[in-house]
Amino acid sequence: MAEPTFADVRKLSFERAMEELETIVKRLEDGKVPLEESVTIYERGEALKRRCEDVLRQAEARVDKITTDSSGRAVGTAPLDVQ
* pLDDT given for residue 4 in this prediction: 43
Spatial CB neighbours of 77, under 8 Å, sequence gap ≥ 6: 64, 65, 66, 67
Q: Residue 16's pLDDT is what?
A: 97
d(CA 35, CA 29): 13
User: What pLDDT score does 80 carry?
Assistant: 66
Give residue 70's pLDDT. 82
Q: Which segments in the chain show pLDDT lower than 70?
A: 1-5, 63-64, 66, 79-83
Residue 2 is predicted with a pLDDT of: 41
Instruction: Collapse the DSSP code of 61 into the 3-class scheme (helix H, G, I; strand E, B; otherwise coil) and give the result.
Output: helix
pLDDT for res 1: 40
- Rounded distance between C-alpha atoms, residue 78 and residue 66, angstroms: 7
- Domain housing 17: 3-79
How many folded domains does the chain comprise?
A: 1
pLDDT at position 42, please?
96
